[in-house]
Structure 1
Amino acid sequence: MGTTKLTQALLKNTKNPKLAWQLFKRIQSSPSNPCFLSSVPTIARILIRSKMLPEIDHLHLLLLSSQPQEKSLPSLISLVNLLAKSGFFDKAFSQFQSIRKMFPQNPPSICLYNVLFGCCIKERRSDCVLWLYKDMVLAGVSPETYTFNLLICGLCDLGHLEDARELFDKMPEKGCLPNEFSFGILVRGYCRFGLANKGLELLDEMRSSGILPNRVVYNTLISSFCKEGKTGDAEKLVERMREDGLFPDVVTFNARISALCSAGKVLEASRIFRDMQIDEALGLPRPNVITYNLMLEGFCKQGMLVEAKALVESMEKNGDLMNLDSYNIWLLGLLRNAKLVEAQLVLEDMVDKGVEPNIYSYNIVMDGLCKNGMLSDARMVMGFIVRSGLSPDTVTYSTLLHGYCRKGKLSEANAILNEMMRSGYVPNTYTCNILLHSLWKEGKILEAEELLQKMNEKGYGVDTVTCNIVIDGLCKSGKLDKAMEIAHEMWTHGSAALGNLGNSFIGLVDDVSRSMRCIPDLVTYSIIISALCKAGKIDEAKKKFREMMGKNLQPDAVIFDTFIHIFCKEGKISSAFRVLKDMEKKGCNKSVQTYNSLILGLGSKNQIFEIYGLVDEMRERGITPNVCIYNNIIQSLCKNGKIQDTTSILDDMLQMGINPNISTFRMLIEAFCKASDFGVAKELFEIGLSICGHKEAFYSLMFNELLSGGQLSEAKVIFEAALDRSFHLGNFLYKDLIEKLCKDGKLEEASGILHKLIIKGYKFDPASFMPVVDDLGKRGNKHEADELAEKMLEMASDGRVENKISRKPKELIHRKETKYGGDDWQTIVHRDDGSGIALKTLKRVQKGWGQGSIPSLQTEKTEFLDYW
């Protein structure tokens, strides 16, 4: 068969690769046949496209065994080239190594080295890069500028910026001059790791080398400076662009807006956006769809839904600006802010306007419903997906699975997993990680370990996220040393470090190359550092921080916030601000958590003025303070006796649309009652009811504070209102109220409260009867005293006794010891020094009724006394 005919026959059987392979093997008995070598590229493409790996290995062996061997070298190199470009890097690399061993004196061209370098970098295989580089040098193959660019890019991606710079500087020694791409790659590397100033220095070098920077380099630097909060430097770069004859385009402005929004500086971004809309005469580019979507996403992330809605309405007026991506951003923003009804309306509006939601749109809604615990509604959305002609995907099922796991409904989650597999969707590592996290959270450690085994057996892969879940679970279960041991071993053994969990995990990962990629990341160190700080091991946490930096892992805001929080909690404000300074140097922006910790720390040092300064700074940065921030400010003001200033803070909260919570009103009410300003306290109580609703915590708080302040009439009104709402009495000091009413001569009111408690069917402490019975006896109301005593004995004998009041320490301080003090009513009955009339009444009733000895009136035998 001729060369052309064989190639044509192979091409005709592209869709039947096994037959094509059989045709090709007919001539394998004569490898020297010219048809054999000329048809190798064709059959290689067919086999690679069909992923017939054993046949590819067979083809490689055939080529190696062909005679003369030198003639097969181009075909071998072609096969390696095809494998590498098709994503089969491991096989391409192993075949290349065998070729180099077989033909050491015939090095391939630099082009093949470049292809393999590119694949190594994509796969993050630094070991292979090193081997290839050494082989290239020994083979005498001269690298090109493109080769250096690939290597510099790989080093930058790995965070080895110093090595990348060193290689960049050596390029002229190897006869390769850096081009604009070389500079651009290194600039991007510096900017990616928050070193925009070094990138700017490189820009100056670029100009001195006679290479004019392009827009990409400028846009990269502008974006990085914006992320670091250096908007002034970004503006100067825009001017330099103009000086170089490069007018800022929409990409330049989009880069600035994107960086500012990502940094939470939405107000600054919106000013740029507004200028683009109205200052066309100044030569500013008009915003495009990407610009609008960036601003919409920025508003949504910051919870600025009013501004986001106005932007959506303006986009809808211009139909070209509102696309499917825009609607998905708007949906995501609404659901992140728990606006479920509005999101549903948007979904309906999309259909009405002819914009068909895709599976991502539905998955956004599913995620929002599941996070809000609305699992039945999420199941309904599954039905909508099917009816719309789409199919739920792995993300859909995983989202629903996560929802059930979050609720602790593991059996339902397992049912979803089975449904997912029946529908033909194979669970991935992410799906299994959801289940694993849930099992650790529920304390089901054995089940979690079994799942790890199954993940390995099924080949789902154990990734860094999996290891982080295990490490987090160990930390929370008090096994910090074990968690740190696994994290340390991950650097050398990858995911196989989970073998430290026990003998059953020693062989957890068989694929060494895969397990080695599972190395600690920022999340790993964040978990360990946080656990060490919570355990009070600050010095060890610092060591872990230094270790992380030594591994070229740059800390993020979460890790810095962890240190700031613990220092503020311990009152080490100067240390906290030193960490803050380092945080800003690294380009990490302050978050709400950062400000919250700092305000808490400053409050402990009575630095109120500095607290107000931080709040002003938050607003300038476009960060809205949350309820925790305001609560900490109120706490600091109350602690420092500036309670009159707290009402303005409350007004500020309400104007900002931030609803105070029960903790807010608790602090305010307690502070004003302590200052005997009961009028303001009652106003705050009413405001709290209107915002947070009629909660038992509000009523018990107000009642107890009024009672301790001697406001008996107001306290009685609150208590009766609480009885009308059938609140639990555990936190109400109602016995104190009855006693104080009797002491003030208000026997009828005290008796009325007892009767109301009885009528409402409450179980309460029978000792509450004692002051009233005692007072009735003193007044000679023998009949009424006997009735109450009878009721008291009836409640005691029936066991209808309320649990002891769960007072907080502050409430115990407010309550003074009284004649009937103490929670045990039996102790009061048997006292010798105060309740004589009541005791006589009880004995008379007991004797007259012929009930004999009532066990509930006898002193209980306590086993622990006998033991001692």
Structure 2
Amino acid sequence: MKSRDSKVVAWQLLRRTLSTPNPPLHSILPLTRILLRYHMLPQIHSLHSFLLSLSPHLTCQYTIVKLLASHGHIHDAIFLFRSTRSHHPPPRLSLYNFLIYKSFKFNYSNFISWLYQDMISASVSPVTYTFNLLIHGLCNSDRLRDARHLFDLMPHKGCHPNHFTFGILIRAYCKFGLSLQGLKLLDTMKMMNVCPNIIIYNTLVASFCRKGDVDEAERLVQRMRDDGLLPDVVTFNSRISALCNSGKILEASRIFRDMQIDEVFGLPRPNIVTFNLMLQGFCQKGMLEEARTLTESMKKDDIFFNVQSYNIWLCGLVRNGKLLEAQTVLKEMPQNGVDPTIYSYNILIHGLCKHGMLGDAKMLMSLMINDGIFPDTVTYSTLLHGYCTKSEVTEAKNILREMMKRGCIPNKYTCNTLLHSMWKEGKVSEAQQLLQKMNERGYGLDTVSCNIVIHGLCQIGEVDKAVEIVSEMWSHGSIALGDFGNSLMSLVNEDDHGRKCLPDLITYSIIINSLFREGKLDEAKKKFVEMMRKKLYPDSVIYNTILHHLCKRGKISSAFQVLKDMETKDCKKSLRTYNSLILGLGDKNQIFEMCGLMDEMREKGISPSVYTYNIMIGCLCKSGRTEKAIPLLNEMLQKGIIPNTNTFELLIKSYCRTGEFRPAQEVFDIASTICGHTEALYALMFNEFLAGDEIVEAKQFLETAIDKHFDLGSFLYKDLIDKLCKVENLEGAHDILIKMMHIGYGFDPASFMPVIDGLIKLGQKHVADELTERMLEMVSEGKVGNKTYQNYRELNHMKRSKYGGDGWQAIVHRDDGSAAALKNLKRVQKGWGQGSI
């Protein structure tokens, strides 16, 4: 029967055997197996029809049914079973149980109800094992309510649940997050005199631990001990896992240490799972030294040398930026007899890409291939995402081509990553071409794809088109993108998958945000109502988006109405919520209400951000209450919230505006300690002190800035020189110019003129001529800065300045003139942006 014609020979032999007057029925079963091997199902049906005519021989008929079911041909098995049942008495309970089990196993749960009803109608009484099969199958099919109904029905059918029944149902409750209902079943077990075993307890303990309810888990462990059951290593692993997940690493570590000295405490010894849980916990918390010590301990005990432990350690190193050490660990694995898997390589490739080390990632991929491990979809997608993040779309497309050339099928994540990057770069036509190619290979668009296109349209100002697509998605799914352009029509097919591509909360979040940004408030509100009507209930993100835009436009009363609706929908207020409201109130100068929101934040345990404090400080300073803003600065420092330059700028400007320069200096000293001696801070202090006619202090700030080689583009140094000359401090002004030229600054030539004029008036013509020569040398050497005025205040200063306007042009058109400057005009080939002179 091993020849290629064996199936034909088997069928011919079977027909010949059946045509004899007394067919040998003992040979039918082996021949049926041969027919099954070659999937000759029609012939098996013919065989069964023949056997039905031999009423005394029912065993063969039901045996064929069982044989079909055992090979996964459930539909055929049930069909033959029904035809047999319509002519002959029912089989034994064991066949019903077998068919129920196989129906669930091969996902033919639609037959279960009929089998159970047929069993009852045939007066074949189910036993506890039958109910266990049914309950287990229903739980696996996510029909927990039906499973519980069947469980409650058992006593009425003369069956008593055993610990397997309870275990099945409790495990299902825990799977669906209904741990409390599982706990109630534990009480029911006691009432029915069924003793729970350690597996049931561990299932419940693990479930409560996953939910973070460690206290309830502890009570269960004590209850377990009361029942005479000692917690095992699985019990302790559940607790350690829960503690690590909740960030309580030190508490988990204490339990782990106690387990290691079990001769004292009588606790179970930790296994490899325990060690890996602790290693993962240390790595996730960034406790690398503790993790490193643990790995060394595991190596000494010869339990570290498994791929799972290595992968956890690799993840920890990569997550904490230790890429060089991670590469060393990867090389170490084969030396210790552990072959790295594709997952091991992907961990490191992901880390390298995340840190922008794409060349190293590609090199590692080449080494991986040399070691006989070929990149998978995750490898290529990670590398592709890395290039897209750096906006290197061309290189990303090369990765995609290489990926497909190697026969590695891209997934939707790959496609969407490229799509997002191309939209971000404005390469719309290339995005369409990519989607065309992906579609040719059988990839349809999903909601993520549609959201990327919708977001891209909103970014380029095509909000109306994006809104139209969203409306069409409800009726046509991803086919709605066909309206975007003819090239996208071919990317989508009118199939069920396309129709299931419906808008989600992210879709509406994009649209509502874009409509608000465009100032189309009424349309944004309509989309919000439409979303609710479509049974998409807003989350905190959408509510915060609406609040932000309403507050930004000064519609505070509308914002608080939205806030009330948000609280009604049980959406929790976040930092962004409070920041939006405080910003809106700040624009209305409603300081009392702002302080009330700050107090509410503190009560709810929401820590204000730098942005929050800056809004408050800015509002207080604007209203002239700087003294009330300083306590907020102190509060920030006490809470470890680092103020930024903007924080100090608000306070310094407020003090200087009221002439309080000493407090401003004190704030500057604090700012320098926290933010460092930055150009922005020195420019701020110089300009503010200069505007307040604190010339000596302003000169000190400028000289310090020159010594630190700061860019002077933000410093109003020309005004300082002009003022120094006016107060007859010509020497100080001259020193500043010489110092700037000595360091090599290029600056506006108009700065020289007040000094040159002053020197001429004092009769120091020789010194004036030297300074003019230096000025013209700067021109010839190109050491002239093209000054850009940074703000309105500086611009106003320049308008008021005697030597304001464009530097060289002002010099040329001076009506009072300068003999030294005019004498040397012919030496100048070109002015500063004024063409030839």
TM-score range, shorter chain: 0.7 to 0.9
Which whole-Å deviations, capped at 9, do the CAs of 1:584-635 have from their partners, x for residues lacking one? 9xxxxx9xx96787799789536667766777x99xxxxxxxxx95776687
Q: Is the 2:737–2:752 contact (alpha carbons within 8 Å) kept by the matching residues of 1?
A: yes
Structure 2 Cα separation of the partners of residues 323 and 80 of structure 1: 42
Which whole-Å deviations, capped at 9, do the CAs of 1:768-806 have from their partners, x for residues lacking one? 456545655665656766777895899699996525234
From the superposition, tell whether residues 352 and 507 of structure 1 become closer, same or farther in structure 2 (CA, over 3 Å): closer
More displaced stretch, 287-296 vs 136-145: 136-145
Q: Is the 2:543–2:562 contact (alpha carbons within 8 Å) kept by the matching residues of 1?
A: no
Which residue of structure 2 aligns with residue 244 of structure 1?
227
More displaced stretch, 446-455 vs 529-538: 529-538
Which residue of structure 2 aligns with residue 715 of structure 1?
701
**Unaligned 5+ residue runs, structure 1?**
1-5, 11-18, 48-55, 85-91, 121-127, 585-589, 619-627, 860-868
Which whole-Å deviations, capped at 9, do the CAs of 1:78-123 have from their partners, x for residues lacking one? 6864664xxxxxxx67767987998894899453344333443xxx
Which residue of structure 1 aligns with residue 672 of structure 2?
685
1:826 aligned counterpart, secondary structure = coil
Q: 2:595 aligns with which of 588, 595, 605?
A: 605
Cα deviation, residue 370, structure 1:
0.7
Structure 1 Cα separation of the partners of residues 476 and 50 of structure 2: 40
Structure 1 Cα separation of the partners of residues 823 and 734 of structure 2: 24
Which residue of structure 2 aligns with residue 380 of structure 1?
363
Which whole-Å deviations, capped at 9, do the CAs of 1:311-348 have from their partners, x for residues lacking one? 44444454425643223212212212222233334445
1:32 aligned counterpart, secondary structure = helix
Q: Is the 2:66–2:77 contact (alpha carbons within 8 Å) kept by the matching residues of 1?
A: no
From the superposition, tell whether residues 114 and 732 of structure 1 become closer, same or farther in structure 2 (CA, over 3 Å): farther
2:235 aligned counterpart, secondary structure = helix
Which whole-Å deviations, capped at 9, do the CAs of 1:402-443 have from their partners, x for residues lacking one? 222221222222322333344453434443343334334333
Which residue of structure 2 aligns with residue 826 of structure 1?
805
Q: Is the 1:257–1:294 contact (alpha carbons within 8 Å) kept by the matching residues of 2?
A: yes
More displaced stretch, 317-326 vs 816-825: 816-825
Structure 2 Cα separation of the partners of residues 218 and 486 of structure 1: 52
Cα deviation, residue 140, structure 1:
6.2
2:15 aligned counterpart, secondary structure = coil
Q: Is the 1:405–1:413 contact (alpha carbons within 8 Å) kept by the matching residues of 2?
A: yes
Q: Is the 1:276–1:286 contact (alpha carbons within 8 Å) kept by the matching residues of 2?
A: yes
Q: 1:840 aligns with which of 797, 813, 816?
A: 816
Q: Is the 2:35–2:43 contact (alpha carbons within 8 Å) kept by the matching residues of 1?
A: no
1:115-130 to 2 correspondences below 5 Å:
115-120=102-107, 129=109
Q: Is the 1:110–1:141 contact (alpha carbons within 8 Å) kept by the matching residues of 2?
A: no
Cα deviation, residue 499, structure 1:
5.9
Which whole-Å deviations, capped at 9, do the CAs of 1:531-560 have from their partners, x for residues lacking one? 64676658966985896788xxxx9xxx55
Cα deviation, residue 244, structure 1:
2.6
More displaced stretch, 484-493 vs 417-426: 484-493
More displaced stretch, 239-248 vs 486-495: 486-495
Which residue of structure 2 aligns with residue 60 of structure 1?
41
Q: 1:402 aligns with which of 385, 400, 413?
A: 385
Structure 1 Cα separation of the partners of residues 569 and 394 of structure 2: 47
Greater RCO, 1 or 2 (C-alpha within 8 Å, sep 6+): 1
1:575-594 to 2 correspondences below 5 Å:
none
More displaced stretch, 136-145 vs 441-450: 136-145
Q: Match of 1:239, as an amino acid?
A: Q
Q: Match of 1:840, as an amino acid?
A: D
Choose 1 or 2 for highest CA Rg.
2
Cα deviation, residue 280, structure 1:
5.6
Q: Is the 2:280–2:313 contact (alpha carbons within 8 Å) kept by the matching residues of 1?
A: yes
Which residue of structure 1 aligns with residue 237 of structure 2?
254
Which residue of structure 1 aligns with residue 275 of structure 2?
292
Q: Is the 2:784–2:832 contact (alpha carbons within 8 Å) kept by the matching residues of 1?
A: no
2:644 aligned counterpart, secondary structure = helix
Q: What is the total number of aligned residue pairs between the two structures?
A: 764
- Does structure 1 residue 332 correspond to structure 2 residue 315? yes
With normalisation by structure 1, the TM-score equals: 0.70
Which whole-Å deviations, capped at 9, do the CAs of 1:442-476 have from their partners, x for residues lacking one? 33333333333333321356566656655665666
Q: Match of 1:371, as an amino acid?
A: K
Cα deviation, residue 375, structure 1:
1.1
Q: Is the 2:65–2:77 contact (alpha carbons within 8 Å) kept by the matching residues of 1?
A: yes
Q: Is the 2:447–2:501 contact (alpha carbons within 8 Å) kept by the matching residues of 1?
A: yes
1:717-732 to 2 correspondences below 5 Å:
717-722=703-708, 724=709, 727=711, 729-732=712-715
Q: Is the 1:242–1:248 contact (alpha carbons within 8 Å) kept by the matching residues of 2?
A: yes
1:251 aligned counterpart, secondary structure = helix
- Does structure 1 residue 201 correspond to structure 2 residue 184? yes
Structure 2 Cα separation of the partners of residues 489 and 171 of structure 1: 51
Structure 2 Cα separation of the partners of residues 249 and 820 of structure 1: 84
Structure 2 Cα separation of the partners of residues 494 and 703 of structure 1: 61
Cα deviation, residue 501, structure 1:
5.6
Q: Match of 1:411, as an amino acid?
A: T
Cα deviation, residue 271, structure 1:
4.4
Q: Is the 1:568–1:576 contact (alpha carbons within 8 Å) kept by the matching residues of 2?
A: no
Structure 1 Cα separation of the partners of residues 525 and 724 of structure 2: 54
From the superposition, tell whether residues 240 and 358 of structure 1 become closer, same or farther in structure 2 (CA, over 3 Å): same
Structure 1 Cα separation of the partners of residues 389 and 732 of structure 2: 50
From the superposition, tell whether residues 546 and 492 of structure 1 become closer, same or farther in structure 2 (CA, over 3 Å): closer
- Does structure 1 residue 112 correspond to structure 2 residue 99? yes
Structure 1 Cα separation of the partners of residues 333 and 214 of structure 2: 37
Q: Match of 1:145, as an amino acid?
A: F
From the superposition, tell whether residues 395 and 800 of structure 1 become closer, same or farther in structure 2 (CA, over 3 Å): same
Q: Percent identity?
A: 39
Structure 1 Cα separation of the partners of residues 506 and 150 of structure 2: 32
Cα deviation, residue 153, structure 1:
2.0
Which residue of structure 2 aligns with residue 431 of structure 1?
414
Structure 2 Cα separation of the partners of residues 61 and 325 of structure 1: 49
Q: 1:341 aligns with which of 324, 341, 346?
A: 324
1:286 aligned counterpart, secondary structure = coil
Cα deviation, residue 385, structure 1:
2.5
- Does structure 1 residue 273 correspond to structure 2 residue 256? yes
Q: Match of 1:32, as an amino acid?
A: R
Structure 2 Cα separation of the partners of residues 39 and 497 of structure 1: 56
Q: Match of 1:328, as an amino acid?
A: N
Which residue of structure 1 aligns with residue 353 of structure 2?
370
- Does structure 1 residue 805 correspond to structure 2 residue 789? yes
Q: 1:449 aligns with which of 425, 432, 435?
A: 432
Q: Is the 1:568–1:601 contact (alpha carbons within 8 Å) kept by the matching residues of 2?
A: yes
Structure 1 Cα separation of the partners of residues 223 and 281 of structure 2: 27
Which residue of structure 2 aligns with residue 623 of structure 1?
none
With normalisation by structure 2, the TM-score equals: 0.72
1:68 aligned counterpart, secondary structure = helix
Q: 2:442 aligns with which of 448, 453, 459?
A: 459
Cα deviation, residue 290, structure 1:
1.5
Structure 1 vs Structure 2 CA RMSD? 5.5
Q: Match of 1:525, as an amino acid?
A: L
Structure 2 Cα separation of the partners of residues 346 and 823 of structure 1: 70
Structure 2 Cα separation of the partners of residues 456 and 567 of structure 1: 40
Cα deviation, residue 364, structure 1:
1.3
Which residue of structure 1 aligns with residue 644 of structure 2?
664
Q: Match of 1:292, as an amino acid?
A: F
- Does structure 1 residue 149 correspond to structure 2 residue 135? yes
Structure 1 Cα separation of the partners of residues 619 and 466 of structure 2: 40
Which residue of structure 1 aligns with residue 587 of structure 2?
none
From the superposition, tell whether residues 543 and 182 of structure 1 become closer, same or farther in structure 2 (CA, over 3 Å): farther
From the superposition, tell whether residues 28 and 611 of structure 1 become closer, same or farther in structure 2 (CA, over 3 Å): same
Q: Match of 1:451, as an amino acid?
A: L
Which whole-Å deviations, capped at 9, do the CAs of 1:126-181 have from their partners, x for residues lacking one? xx75x44565577667884245324542454xxx7666655655666677765545
From the superposition, tell whether residues 70 and 110 of structure 1 become closer, same or farther in structure 2 (CA, over 3 Å): farther
Cα deviation, residue 283, structure 1:
3.5
Which whole-Å deviations, capped at 9, do the CAs of 1:336-391 have from their partners, x for residues lacking one? 22222333344455566555544322221111111100111212323433454544
Q: Match of 2:98, as an amino acid?
A: C
Q: Match of 1:204, as an amino acid?
A: D
Structure 2 Cα separation of the partners of residues 78 and 138 of structure 1: 19
Structure 1 Cα separation of the partners of residues 349 and 646 of structure 2: 37
- Does structure 1 residue 305 correspond to structure 2 residue 288? yes
More displaced stretch, 244-253 vs 496-505: 496-505
Q: Match of 1:841, as an amino acid?
A: G
